[in-house]
């Protein structure tokens, strides 16, 4: 018996004979038309049964949500809406689904809120929306690897458990095997981490950057693509406690090269999705348009999803220094009318997402790369500029998303880096290996981190980051 997937069948000629297709029943109409889906595509295959020739008890078990195997021949469809359908000769029930219970789940064929779908995250991938989002997520991940692998980068696996705080922000999840009720104590009464599994304090990584830098200093061009963890208490539609980050790191590359790389990379993966995920994007575009039409007119996105993606592909990202951005913001209407929650009155202010979105969505109306930020609002490893006030940092800002990429040229000068670490009160001993890089053949190098879920959000048009990762981890939530 030859098994076929739904996607294969929909692309086949009606002459295909004697095959079996397996999937989950979306609907069973008039005791005759089964809409079957196996997740290989957003489209269902219509399977037509001649109910006169089937056992009634068997037909009763073909219910929404059940898993079945259908054997038959492919024929040209009589009805509109599909080119081919399966003329069914045999149905086998693989797994029943009780209609009374299905009714209470998100498998029932009606519109469910995204909140409800989140509560049933174990079932939501069977809905059209989540099937589409997760197929896109997978394709985008493939495109990420394809981009780097075909451009001479090596995939580097940064450790998940580390002893350092790459961002110096202290937002880490501790990793420990000590008994929380009865931990060993030092003479001073503090928890004695020397007794812990690793013999020192350790945590889940917030970024693979520091380790990626060590590899860039040997393999020249590397990238990481793995999970990262932040214990920041941000309950927003853009933050997760566990998210996937892509971090290229490149030797002999300065900030301009870094900006070129970020722009080229982002455009490549978006183009890949546009070209390879047409059915899913068409569905998500329609979904988004419906959702937008329920918003007040002034909050609607001016472009349908695919037009927005094309717009990004066809326009250069605008490169603007932090100092220019502050001037624009200071003189902006919302600032003068005190509409910003955090008014901008002077150079040095940290930019909030309201400011980033103003620049991208109202002022420039295209993706923006901001660079040369004040040193004191950025991490310790960024290269100090001649003015000694700003660092070679860059953030890529996207419409509807805000910051999608954060990166920088790294401080490659031993003395400057050592001083910076001391000034910020970071324990130099923890970073001995990182400082070593600046002693043995140091070189200009740069890199960035792209939040994979924010990219998936942009491409799928999903408003909440919890809806672009299978099992979101957020404050007070680690269900499933």
Q: Return the HEC string of 114-154.
A: HHHHHHCCCCHHHCHHHHHHHHHHHHHHHHHHHHHHCCCCE
Phi, psi dihedrals of residue 328, rounded to the nearest 5° = -60, -45
Quick one: 358 or 448, whose CB is closer to Mg ion? 448
User: Residue 88 or residue 394: which is nearer to ligand 4AD going by CB?
Assistant: 394
Minimum distance of ligand 4AD from residue 245's CB (angstroms):
5
Helix crossing, 452-460 with 255-276: angle to 10°? 40
- CA gap 137, 469 in Å, rounded: 8
Closer residue to ligand 4AD (CB): 230 or 287: 230
- Sign, CA dihedral 154-160-396-133, equals positive
Interface stretch with Mg ion, choices 76-84, 225-233, 235-243, 401-409 (CB under 5 A): 401-409
Which residue is at the shortest CB distance from Mg ion? 406
Please answer whether residues 68 and 25 qualify as being in contact, where contact means their C-beta atoms are separated by less than 8 angstroms. yes
- Which parts of 169-188 interact with Mg ion (CB under 5 A)? none
Nearer to ligand 4AD, 9 or 382 (CB): 382
Give the nearest distance from C-beta 227 to ligand 4AD in angstroms.
11
Q: Residue 19 Cβ, how far from ligand 4AD at the closest point, in Å? A: 43
In what side-by-side order are the strands of the sheet with 402-409?
154-155, 221-229, 242-251, 445-451, 402-409, 390-398, 368-374, 318-321
Tell the smallest beta-carbon distance from residue 449 to ligand 4AD (Å).
3
Nearer to ligand 4AD among residue 193 and residue 229 (C-beta) = 229
**Residue count at the site for Mg ion (CB under 5 A)?**
1
Task: Indicate which of Mg ion, ligand 4AD, none lies near residue 167 (CB less than 5 to 8 Å, by partner kind).
Answer: ligand 4AD
65 lines the binding site for Mg ion (CB under 5 A): no
Stretch touching Mg ion by CB under 5 A, among 141-149, 293-301, 405-413, 460-468: 405-413
Contacted by 239, from Mg ion, ligand 4AD, none: CB < 5 to 8 Å by type: ligand 4AD
Q: Phi and psi dihedrals of 258, rounded to 5?
A: -65, -40
**Cβ at position 238, least distance to ligand 4AD in Å:** 6
229-232: Cβ within 8 A, 24+ apart: 229/172, 229/173, 229/204, 229/205, 230/171, 230/172, 230/206, 231/171, 231/172, 231/173, 232/169, 232/171
Binding at 448: pick from ligand 4AD, Mg ion, none (beta carbon under 5-8 Å per type): ligand 4AD
In the complex, least distance from residue 206 CB atom to ligand 4AD, rounded to whole angstroms: 6
Residues at the site binding ligand 4AD, with contacts judged by CB under 6 A? 166-167, 207, 209, 230, 232, 239-240, 243, 245, 247, 403-408, 447-451, 453-454
Contact assessment for residue 141 and residue 225, using Cβ atoms and an 8 Å cutoff: yes
Return the number of the residue (10 or 404) whose C-beta is nearest ligand 4AD: 404
The answer to whether 367 contacts Mg ion (rule: CB under 5 A) is no
Instruction: Please tell me the distance from the alpha carbon of residue 299 to that of residue 321, in angstroms, as a whole number.
Output: 28
Nearer to Mg ion, 208 or 406 (CB): 406
Q: How many CB atoms lie within 10 A of CB 232?
A: 15
Residue in this structure with the two tokens 């940092």, named with its chain if needed: 393
Min CB(379)–ligand 4AD separation in Å = 7
Residue (35 or 450) nearer to Mg ion, CB: 450
Does 406 participate in binding Mg ion (rule CB under 5 A)?
yes
How far apart (Å, rounded) are the C-alpha atoms in residues 96 and 382? 58
**Distance separating alpha carbons of residues 50 and 43, to the nearest angstrom:** 23
Give residues in contact with Mg ion (CB under 5 A). 406
């Amino acid at each position: 018996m030859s098994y076929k997937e739904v996607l294969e069948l929909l692309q086949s000629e009606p002459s295909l004979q004697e095959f079996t297709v397996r999937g989950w029943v979306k609907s069973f109409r008039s005791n005759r038309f089964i809409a079957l889906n196996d997740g290989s595509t957003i489209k269902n295959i219509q399977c037509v049964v001649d109910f006169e020739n089937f056992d009634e008890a068997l037909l009763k078990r073909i219910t929404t949500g059940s898993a079945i195997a259908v054997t038959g021949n492919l024929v040209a469809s009589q009805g509109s809406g599909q080119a081919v359908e399966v003329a069914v000769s045999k149905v086998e029930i693989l797994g029943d689904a009780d209609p009374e219970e299905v009714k209470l789940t998100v498998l029932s064929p009606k519109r469910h809120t995204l909140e409800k779908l989140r509560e049933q995250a174990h079932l939501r991938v069977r809905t059209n929306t989540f099937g589409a989002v997760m197929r896109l997520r997978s394709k985008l991940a493939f495109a990420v690897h394809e981009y780097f692998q075909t451009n001479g980068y090596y995939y580097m696996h940064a450790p998940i458990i580390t002893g350092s705080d790459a961002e110096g922000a202290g937002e880490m999840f501790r990793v420990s095997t000590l008994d929380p009720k009865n931990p060993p104590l030092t003479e001073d009464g503090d928890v004695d981490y020397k007794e812990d599994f690793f013999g020192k304090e350790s945590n889940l990584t917030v970024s693979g950057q520091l380790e990626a830098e060590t590899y860039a200093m040997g393999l020249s061009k590397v990238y990481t693509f793995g999970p990262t963890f932040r214990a920041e208490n941000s309950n927003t539609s853009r933050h997760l406690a566990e998210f996937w980050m892509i971090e290229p790191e490149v030797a002999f590359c300065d900030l301009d090269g870094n900006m070129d790389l970020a722009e080229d990379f982002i455009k490549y993966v978006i183009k890949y999705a546009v070209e390879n995920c047409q059915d899913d994007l068409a569905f998500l575009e329609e979904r988004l348009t419906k959702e937008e039409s329920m918003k007040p007119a002034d909050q609607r996105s001016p472009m349908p999803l695919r037009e927005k993606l094309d717009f990004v592909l066809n326009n250069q990202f605008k490169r603007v220094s932090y100092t220019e951005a502050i001037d624009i913001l200071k003189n902006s209407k919302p600032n003068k009318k005190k509409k910003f929650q955090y008014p901008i009155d002077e150079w040095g202010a940290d930019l909030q997402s309201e400011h980033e979105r103003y620049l991208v969505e109202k002022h420039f109306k295209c993706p923006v790369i901001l660079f040369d930020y004040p040193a004191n609002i950025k991490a310790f490893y960024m290269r100090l500029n001649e003015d000694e006030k700003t660092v070679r940092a860059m953030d890529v800002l996207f419409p509807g998303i805000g910051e999608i990429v954060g990166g920088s040229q790294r401080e490659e000068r031993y003395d400057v880096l050592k001083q910076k670490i001391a000034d910020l009160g970071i324990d130099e001993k923890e970073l001995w290996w990182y400082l070593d890089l600046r002693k043995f053949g140091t070189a200009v190098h740069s890199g960035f981190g792209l939040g994979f879920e924010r990219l998936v959000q942009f491409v799928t048009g999903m408003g909440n980051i919890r809806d672009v990762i299978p099992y979101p981890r957020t404050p007070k939530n680690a269900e499933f």
